[in-house]
Structure 1
Amino acid sequence: MVSFSHLDDSVPEARWLSAVEGRSHLDPARLWPHGTGRLVVLAAHPDDETLGAGGLIALTAARGIAVDVVVATAGEASHPDSPTFSAEQLARVRRVELRDAVALLAPGATVHFLDLPDGGLARHRSELDAALAAIVGSAAKESTVLAAPWRSDGHTDHDTAGQAAAALARTMGLPLLEYPIWLWHWGQPGDVPENLVLLPLGDAAAAKKRAMDAHVTQVRPLSPEPGDEALLSPAVLAHFERSFESFALSTPRPPREVFEDLYQSSSDPWHFEDSFYEHRKRALCLAMLPRPHFSAVFEPGCSIGVFTRELAGRADAVLATDISDRALELARQRLASAGHVRLEQGTVPQDWPPGRYDLVVVSEIGYFLQHSALEELIERTSESLTDDGVVLLCHWRHPNEGWELTGDQVHEAFRARSGLQIIAEHREQDFRIDVLARTEAP
């Protein structure tokens, strides 16, 4: 985390103009090639949306693209020493300022206030994830584009908001535009992200300037009293009076495409068949189950069916799903003689099947989820268990590059929020296994 204050001297704007000169230009027509779609802009505080993406909002709305502005906090902590405004009063004023600013940029835009604590987004990350996912929608089309604060902006709320948007964009395969705010204040040219692109504003620059002025509590003093000084100095505002806006552009591919390519390049990308590590891990998982046989087993993320085949030997019926059609094709070849095994394409928690199971296997899939999806996975897993049902958790413990959650975080979330009892556990350097149940196993 960068340490800085808004009272610090701001990096001269002339240095930034020189540093970003020659960067590629962003063409909105490439984001919405069919002329229709949706822009969802996440802001950590009122004014972030205008400073970082006001021109984008105005240009997008002018093209007939629907705009949603999602504001995580009311910005009530911007003047903690104010003698004239309480936090509650400031929150009310800033909400009005936000609506006025957005109306100047995109009169038809929809505004969503989440009212999470200013300065405390990191502690409320799961709520932010869930709210943002609900607004974007579980079936967002390719024409939906997300914009959010840059993940490395140096302000804890900005970084958290950016991480939440990045996780959702990756999960749903949506383009993401990350706008720096405080980078321009504390940073140096070498801190500029490599994927930064510039959006020329044209006439939208004037609309952005009017919207910036609408955030009166931030650009002007609240009163002449100490503690009521303007938060954004003229030197800081100069970074947002440019003829362009800057975004770190990411265009993640949908997870299904990523996994399809993975299985097309290798029939066993994780070496399930020939790795001693995998053989030993599966043997430990099976040995830790509290009884030798189960009636109904559900295994999401079954991959090519190696563990599915071993589960089939201890069950009356097995339902196994995977995101990849190619993986399922390979699994069907492996399990051709197992008539009591059903293989289906799907992801969890979105495609959770009906019915109840006395064994649910959550193995090596939890860290591919967003925080809110993990919460839903835990809830659905618990709800689908029979009275004597068992959950088998098994995950790699090291960080997975490009994914936020770790195996340990997945297991701790299940242990804390599933309402199930821990009946067996195993931890070592590379992986861990937990077995959970409604009641103590015999």
Structure 2
Amino acid sequence: MVTFHHTDASTPEESWLDAGVGQLPLLDARLLAGASRVVVLAAHPDDELLGCAALLAETERLGVDTVAILFTGGENSHPRSPTVTPEQLAELRAAEFEALSGALFPSARTVHPGLTDGRVAESPEAVRDALDAALAGCDAARAVVVSPRHDDGHPDHETLGEAALAAGRALGATVLEYPIWYWHWAGPEDARWRSWVRLPDPAGLDRDALWALYPTQTRPLSPAPGDEAIVQPDFLAHFLRGFETFEVTQTDRNEAAQAHRDEAALAHPDAARVFDQVHQDDDPWRTYTSAYEARKRATLIGLLKEARGGRVPGSDESELGRGAGADDGGSDGASADADRPYARAFEIGCSVGALTGDLTRISERVLAVDASAEALEQAQAKQGGRAGVEFRQMLVPESWPEGSFDLIVLSETGYYLTEADLRATFAKIAASASGGGAVVALCHWRGDIEGWPLDAAAVHRMARETWPGERVASHEDPDFLIDLFDIAGPSGR
């Protein structure tokens, strides 16, 4: 184990920055968004602020189930203090931790095993029991355990790091190790840091204000020798750099868990943020200008019209395929006829509204939803002037509209859902079919889908398994799949 003292000169922060620590790759945001639970291990009060304040702020923002385990009271941080006893210091530091947790991660559960500061290694069973209890009742393969590094140079830190890695190996949990004293005693020539990732501080994280909650560590307890501040300014500089670093460890067992985690990424309300970022660009998939998009929508609308019989208004591809902007004119709200055979359509995942515009040609009313407010703003601008169109922000299947529909469309959206959420979506679709039944339309690109739970083949296979006898039309283009199902309403026909 490395030997050092907190009063030793710390490696200059400029050395770390010049070496490129600020250019490390980013932590995959899906790791936290898809976690079943995040368990944070801290040996002493302030370890959580030193090593993972940004992470705790992010789990709080995401609403991820979080447990913070503070193993000791930090009572021996000033062993030669002539003014404060260890018992008194434990009380002071407990109050500091309480204030910090209330400010940074108020929704997390906190656990205090009450081990002795500096002697955590003497209680391996207590460490293991606390970690097991924190992980109980969750999908451990999707859990994230956050701990000090197993080679940080402090015996308490290293004990927790080793316990976290053992849990990761045993349960398939992902382990994020955070360095604390490493920045103090190591230098850029030590290559370990080059394989780590970083997590930027989220907006609003005020580290100076948070450090003001730990005066026993940042200020002298008194002018007397032995009461010096533990966190010296040159050491603290490593933790005011605007980001944190972690080593990510995922065992072989965790490969399956990673796939599950990727599936869960967009089941989380954070999907709105993900797609808001995508829609910073105007029409990111070029749905209004792409020949592929025009051909796909023309084929889909033609099949939907045939499913109910009749002519498609504007059925030449020059008009139909281009998503009919608001300036093209819209439905006058007349009653359903041969040209507009559907009464109420529900479009799941409308993006910027290109297909929505085409659906108004065959349905009197269209409710179009998307997780992204940015997407809906573009859709409203392009299609909001059309009669019978309503846009809503909604994350399916967690949220679902009221009422029934005789047309429900899932286009280029199914592969963003987990298998469980797609099945839940199908169940809600079935429950939302109008009394006379509904046509359910699925349309998806057949290309490789990287980083998402499913692909077109999987989505359509699941739909065919859900409604094995109700498929009324299919189209297998080299670029896309379309399936139409004519399903009965909840009470049957």
**Shorter-chain TM-score category?**
0.5 to 0.7
Q: Does the aligned pair in 2 maintain the 1:70–1:112 contact within 8 Å?
A: yes
Q: Partners in 2 of 1:130 and 1:248 — Cα distance? A: 24
Distance 1:110 1:139, change over 3 A: closer
Distance 1:190 1:126, change over 3 A: farther
Residue 113 of structure 1 corresponds to 112
Deviation by residue 1:316-360 (Cα, 9 ceiling, x = unmatched): xxxxxxxxxxxxxxxxxxxxxxxxxxxxxxxxxxxxxxxxxxxxx
Superposed displacement of residue 153, structure 1 = 0.3
Residue 195 of structure 1 corresponds to 195
Residue 373 of structure 1 corresponds to none
Residue 153 of structure 1 corresponds to 152
What letter corresponds to residue 55 of structure 1 in structure 2? Answer: A
Q: Does the aligned pair in 1 maintain the 2:58–2:202 contact within 8 Å?
A: no
Residue 7 of structure 2 corresponds to 7
Aligned CA-pair RMSD? 1.9
Q: Does the aligned pair in 1 maintain the 2:81–2:227 contact within 8 Å?
A: yes
Q: Does the aligned pair in 2 maintain the 1:148–1:161 contact within 8 Å?
A: yes
Size of the alignment, in residue pairs?
255
Residue 33 of structure 2 corresponds to 32
Residue 84 of structure 2 corresponds to 85
Q: Does the aligned pair in 2 maintain the 1:104–1:210 contact within 8 Å?
A: no
Q: Does the aligned pair in 2 maintain the 1:101–1:210 contact within 8 Å?
A: no
- In the TM superposition, what are the counterparts of 1:346-425 in structure 2 within 5 Å? none
Q: Does the aligned pair in 2 maintain the 1:51–1:212 contact within 8 Å?
A: no
What letter corresponds to residue 28 of structure 1 in structure 2? Answer: A
Distance 1:143 1:12, change over 3 A: same
Q: Partners in 2 of 1:129 and 1:72 — Cα distance? A: 11
Residue 220 of structure 1 corresponds to 219
Q: Partners in 2 of 1:113 and 1:38 — Cα distance? A: 18
Q: Does the aligned pair in 1 maintain the 2:36–2:138 contact within 8 Å?
A: no
Residue 232 of structure 1 corresponds to 231
Superposed displacement of residue 140, structure 1 = 3.4
TM-score, structure 2 length as denominator?
Answer: 0.50
Q: Does the aligned pair in 1 maintain the 2:153–2:182 contact within 8 Å?
A: yes
- In the TM superposition, what are the counterparts of 1:12-411 in structure 2 within 5 Å? 12-19=12-19, 20-33=21-34, 37-137=36-136, 139-191=138-190, 192-206=192-206, 208-254=207-253
Distance 1:10 1:124, change over 3 A: same
What letter corresponds to residue 18 of structure 1 in structure 2? Answer: D
Q: Partners in 2 of 1:213 and 1:29 — Cα distance? A: 32
Q: Does the aligned pair in 2 maintain the 1:39–1:68 contact within 8 Å?
A: yes
Q: Does the aligned pair in 1 maintain the 2:57–2:202 contact within 8 Å?
A: no
Distance 1:174 1:87, change over 3 A: same
Superposed displacement of residue 171, structure 1 = 0.7
SS at match of 1:245: strand
Superposed displacement of residue 144, structure 1 = 1.8
Q: Does the aligned pair in 2 maintain the 1:198–1:246 contact within 8 Å?
A: yes
What letter corresponds to residue 32 of structure 2 in structure 1? Answer: L
Q: Partners in 1 of 2:223 and 2:23 — Cα distance? A: 43
Q: Partners in 2 of 1:30 and 1:161 — Cα distance? A: 21
Distance 1:255 1:65, change over 3 A: closer
Superposed displacement of residue 137, structure 1 = 1.3
What letter corresponds to residue 126 of structure 1 in structure 2? Answer: E
Q: Partners in 2 of 1:80 and 1:71 — Cα distance? A: 20
What letter corresponds to residue 25 of structure 2 in structure 1? Answer: S
SS at match of 2:189: helix
SS at match of 1:116: coil
What letter corresponds to residue 108 of structure 1 in structure 2? Answer: S
Q: Partners in 1 of 2:166 and 2:227 — Cα distance? A: 37
Structure 2 gaps of 5+ residues are 258-493
Superposed displacement of residue 160, structure 1 = 0.6
What letter corresponds to residue 3 of structure 2 in structure 1? Answer: S
Deviation by residue 1:151-210 (Cα, 9 ceiling, x = unmatched): 11001111111101111111110111100000000001133344310101132531x332
Q: Partners in 2 of 1:239 and 1:204 — Cα distance? A: 19
Q: Does the aligned pair in 1 maintain the 2:41–2:147 contact within 8 Å?
A: yes
Q: Partners in 2 of 1:4 and 1:62 — Cα distance? A: 37
Q: Partners in 2 of 1:209 and 1:144 — Cα distance? A: 30
Deviation by residue 1:22-44 (Cα, 9 ceiling, x = unmatched): 311013333323xx632110001
Deviation by residue 1:238-294 (Cα, 9 ceiling, x = unmatched): 000111100011122328979xxxxxxxxxxxxxxxxxxxxxxxxxxxxxxxxxxxx
Q: Decide which structure has the larger Cα Rg and report it.
A: 2
What letter corresponds to residue 44 of structure 1 in structure 2? Answer: A
Q: Does the aligned pair in 1 maintain the 2:148–2:178 contact within 8 Å?
A: yes
Superposed displacement of residue 55, structure 1 = 1.1
Q: Partners in 1 of 2:17 and 2:165 — Cα distance? A: 27
- Which structure has more strand as a fraction of its residues? 1
What letter corresponds to residue 124 of structure 2 in structure 1? Answer: R
SS at match of 2:83: coil
Distance 1:127 1:221, change over 3 A: same
What letter corresponds to residue 13 of structure 1 in structure 2? Answer: E
SS at match of 1:190: coil
What letter corresponds to residue 114 of structure 1 in structure 2? Answer: P
Q: Partners in 1 of 2:125 and 2:55 — Cα distance? A: 27
Q: Partners in 1 of 2:212 and 2:28 — Cα distance? A: 27
Distance 1:100 1:226, change over 3 A: same
Q: Does the aligned pair in 2 maintain the 1:54–1:211 contact within 8 Å?
A: no
What letter corresponds to residue 107 of structure 1 in structure 2? Answer: P
